[in-house]
């Protein structure tokens, strides 16, 4: 008797008018599992075999899915596995940070095809947006030479930059990009590229990268704690990225520190203590230094006292933050990620143990309470590029709920 292969997939619906959702469910299942037969897909998604056959045929005709060589299992008829076609879709991701901007182009399965970066000019967004548009144009021209179908299958431009968005803040706050916040960025990028442009904060983008090709791949409930110039969290709830009412969900850097400082006993936001910016201040390093990550990694590798003091303070704050996130969101796992050099990231995650007692402690866990994700300055750009792919092809259960009350997909 043949053993049935376990398949990770979301459920489709046989409800009339839900074909767009079912296409997304099938694409998602193939991304999660690599390749599946029609029988595998029908069993995993709870769709009828006929519905699966119809959708597979549509996806093949659209150049999104291709068949592999038939496989014979036991005495039954051979089955044909299907896989996603990487060249079926492309997207560009743009990261805007305080001193640098990066572009990345990815294909349908999230493979990085090209990456570029330039330093932002000092004249603010009016000058910076011209440099950004030139970088996007250069990325597109280079991709066309290696993938001629690139522009015809380009699904959008994802943009990530530090948040929070739309709040009143001091213009000289080093953690806020106030000038960029008030600049009509999306309009200028849309006009300059002709693409559908969407914005998310850098922590949400890092979580999108983890969901598509990282530690959160195949996990429905995860919190990604992003430690970069500032501090934030990307929330993956029920398999979808949760953005909040104003796109600011997960701005944990704004939580007030446990420590009280100064004569007035004030409490500062924790990202003033847990961030690359705060570490740079302690090490007397310019955050715009092009050799920044090597210098931080060297200091961390030598157990520089200033680095170890920063780690101790950061761990003290983060233990409480992790316990709070576990209590509120009940995730399957928490992922520490961000633009951190790997030596520093490993020292910090070691210092966080033992974690504080929480509802997340249980004997039968399939994932650790805390694990390390991407420690790569390019992770935010990857997540920004993954967002248009996710928006175009990932299942959206909110769309199904709307269809049940008379809406359309």
Claim to verify: residue 388 and residue 275 sit in the same structural domain: no
Of 66, 84, 102, the position where a domain reaches its end is: 84
Crossing angle of helices 292-301 and 305-329, rounded to 10°: 100
- Residue 112: in which H helix or E strand, if any? strand 112-119
Query: What integer pLDDT is reported at residue 76 of this predicted model?
Result: 63
Q: Between 290 and 96, whose confidence is greater? A: 96
Query: What integer pLDDT is reported at residue 6 of this predicted model?
Result: 64
Claim to verify: residue 79 and residue 95 sit in the same structural domain: no
In a domain, 57, yes or no: yes
Query: What integer pLDDT is reported at residue 260 of this predicted model?
Result: 62
In a domain, 6, yes or no: no
If you average pLDDT over residues 6-17, what whole number do you get? Answer: 56
Contact (Cβ atoms closer than 8 angstroms) between residue 286 and residue 242? no
| Cα–Cα distance, 161 to 177 (Å, whole number) | 9
In a domain, 402, yes or no: no
Claim to verify: residue 189 and residue 334 sit in the same structural domain: no
Claim to verify: residue 264 and residue 161 sit in the same structural domain: no
* β-bridge mates for residue 372, sequence order: 336
Of 84, 107, 123, the position where a domain reaches its end is: 84
Give the best-scoring range by mean pLDDT among 161-175, 260-274, 365-379.
365-379
Among the residue ranges 106-110, 145-149, 198-202, the one predicted with the least confidence is 145-149
pLDDT tens-digit readout, 72-94: 766 667 789 999 999 999 999 99
Claim to verify: residue 68 and residue 105 sit in the same structural domain: no
Claim to verify: residue 176 and residue 295 sit in the same structural domain: no
Claim to verify: residue 61 and residue 142 sit in the same structural domain: no
Query: Residue 368 pLDDT more than 90?
Result: yes
In a domain, 291, yes or no: yes
DSSP 170-193: -TT-TT--HHHHTS-HHHHHHHHH
Claim to verify: residue 93 and residue 80 sit in the same structural domain: no
Of 84, 99, 114, the position where a domain reaches its end is: 84
Beta strands in 168-300 (DSSP E): 197-201, 222-227, 231-237, 240-242
If you average pLDDT over residues 236-249, what whole number do you get? Answer: 90
Question: How confident is residue 1, by pLDDT bands cut at 50, 70 and 90?
Answer: very low
In degrees rounded to 5, what are phi and psi of residue 373?
-105, -145
Query: How high is the mean pLDDT of the chain?
Result: 87
pLDDT tens-digit readout, 334-354: 999 998 889 999 999 999 999
| Cα–Cα distance, 375 to 137 (Å, whole number) | 28
Claim to verify: residue 269 and residue 371 sit in the same structural domain: yes
In a domain, 308, yes or no: yes
If you average pLDDT over residues 220-241, what whole number do you get? Answer: 94
If you average pLDDT over residues 44-73, what whole number do you get? Answer: 90
Question: How confident is residue 102, by pLDDT bands cut at 50, 70 and 90?
Answer: very high
Candidates 1, 122, 30; CA nearest to 395 is: 30
Q: How many domains does the chain have?
A: 3
Contact (Cβ atoms closer than 8 angstroms) between residue 22 and residue 55? yes
pLDDT tens-digit readout, 263-309: 455 678 899 889 999 999 999 998 888 888 899 999 999 999 999 99
Q: Which CATH number goes with the domain that contains 29?
A: 1.10.10.10
Claim to verify: residue 230 and residue 329 sit in the same structural domain: yes
In a domain, 326, yes or no: yes
Query: Residue 403 pLDDT more than 50?
Result: no
Query: What integer pLDDT is reported at residue 176 of this predicted model?
Result: 64
- Furthest-apart CA atoms within the chain: distance in Å: 81
In a domain, 274, yes or no: yes
Domain assignment of residue 187, given as a range: 89-206+383-393
Residue 8 neighbours by CB under 8 Å, 6+ apart: 29, 32, 33, 44, 218
Query: What integer pLDDT is reported at residue 10 of this predicted model?
Result: 60
Q: Which CATH number goes with the domain that contains 309?
A: 3.30.420.40
90-96 sheet: strands from edge to edge: 112-119, 100-107, 90-96, 154-161, 197-201
Label residue 64 exposed, middle or buried (CB < 10 Å: 0-12, 13-18, 19+).
buried
Report percent pLDDT > 90 for the chain.
Answer: 60
Claim to verify: residue 189 and residue 336 sit in the same structural domain: no
In a domain, 8, yes or no: no
Position of tokens 């294909």? 107
Query: What integer pLDDT is reported at residue 16 of this predicted model?
Result: 46
Q: Between 372 and 100, whose confidence is greater? A: 372
Query: Residue 330 pLDDT more than 70?
Result: yes
Claim to verify: residue 229 and residue 354 sit in the same structural domain: yes
| Cα–Cα distance, 296 to 280 (Å, whole number) | 8
């Amino acid at each position: 008797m043949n053993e049935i292969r376990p398949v990770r997939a979301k459920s489709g619906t046989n409800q009339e008018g839900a074909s767009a959702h079912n296409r997304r469910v099938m694409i998602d299942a193939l991304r999660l599992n690599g390749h599946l037969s029609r029988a595998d897909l029908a069993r995993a998604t709870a769709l009828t075999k006929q519905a699966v056959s119809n959708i597979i045929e549509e996806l093949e005709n659209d150049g999104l899915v291709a068949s592999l060589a038939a496989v014979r299992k036991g005495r039954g008829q051979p089955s044909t596995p299907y896989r996603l076609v990487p060249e079926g879709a492309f997207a560009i991701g743009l990261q805007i940070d305080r001193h640098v901007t990066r572009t990345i182009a990815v294909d349908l399965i999230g493979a990085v095809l090209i990456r570029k970066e330039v330093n932002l000019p000092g004249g603010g967004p009016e000058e910076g947006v011209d440099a950004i548009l030139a970088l996007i144009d250069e990325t597109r021209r280079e991709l066309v030479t290696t993938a001629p179908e690139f522009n015809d299958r380009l699904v959008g431009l994802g943009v990530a930059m530090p948040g929070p968005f739309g709040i009143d803040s001091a213009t000289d706050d080093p953690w806020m990009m106030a000038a960029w916040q008030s600049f009509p960025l999306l309009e200028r990028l849309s006009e300059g590229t002709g693409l559908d442009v969407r914005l998310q904060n850098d922590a949400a983008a890092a979580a999108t990268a983890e969901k598509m090709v990282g530690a959160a791949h195949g996990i429905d409930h995860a919190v990604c704690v992003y430690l970069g110039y500032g501090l934030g969290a990307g929330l993956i709830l029920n398999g979808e990225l949760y953005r909040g009412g104003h796109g600011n969900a997960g701005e944990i850097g704004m939580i007030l520190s446990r420590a009280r400082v100064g004569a007035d006993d004030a409490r500062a936001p924790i990202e003033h203590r847990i961030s690359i910016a705060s570490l740079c201040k302690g090490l007397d390093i310019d955050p715009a230094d092009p050799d920044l990550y090597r210098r931080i990694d060297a200091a961390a590798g030598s157990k520089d006292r200033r680095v170890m003091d920063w780690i101790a303070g950061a761990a003290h704050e983060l233990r409480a933050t992790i316990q709070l996130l576990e209590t509120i969101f009940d995730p399957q796992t928490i992922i520490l990620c961000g633009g951190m050099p790997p030596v520093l990231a490993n020292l910090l995650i070691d210092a966080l143990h033992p974690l504080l007692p929480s509802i997340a402690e249980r004997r039968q866990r399939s994932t650790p309470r805390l694990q390390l994700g991407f420690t790569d300055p390019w992770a935010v750009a990857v997540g920004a590029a993954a967002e248009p792919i996710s928006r175009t092809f990932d299942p959206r259960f909110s769309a199904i709920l709307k269809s049940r009350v008379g809406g359309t997909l």
